[in-house]
Amino acid sequence: MSFNPMDLMKNLQEIQGKMGDVQEKLKDVHAEGSSGGGLVTARMNGQMEITGITIDPVAVDPRDVKMLEELIVSACSAANVKIKEKIKDEMSDLAGIPLPPGFPGV
């Protein structure tokens, strides 16, 4: 079997095109994570940006700011886990192949 650099270039161009499609599609992927039984909800997009946080007024206790901070961090972490799973699914669908566990960035 001989190595053809032109085949490699063609494949790289195809992959670049697919990655562009993936990046464009990720703009529309969103996930939510919550903590404290829904007291705090964080929304994140496929570009790993937090797009919103909702806090139930019940969670706002000026005497326990630490708890609210922990709820926010927990909700953001939950949103992060969910968005990574959605990104992995989207990339698998567009690439047409399942991505391995621990795929970079996912």
Domain ranges of the chain: 5-95
**Which pLDDT score is estimated for 91?**
74
pTM of the model: 0.70
pLDDT at 21 over 90: no
Strand partners, 44: 31, 50
User: Is the distance from CB of 104 to CB of 28 less than 8 angstroms?
Assistant: no
* 1-26 mean pLDDT: 76
**Which pLDDT score is estimated for 7?**
76
**Which pLDDT score is estimated for 95?**
59
**Which pLDDT score is estimated for 73?**
98
**Which pLDDT score is estimated for 1?**
56
Question: Which strands form 50-55's sheet, in the order they lie side by side?
Answer: 30-35, 40-45, 50-55
Can you name the CATH fold of 5-95?
Ybab; Chain: A; (3.30.1310)
3-state helix, strand, coil in the chain (%, to 5): 55, 15, 30
**Which pLDDT score is estimated for 72?**
97
Look at the block and give the residue holding tokens 């698998």. Answer: 92
How many Å apart are CA 21 and CA 64, to the nearest integer?
45
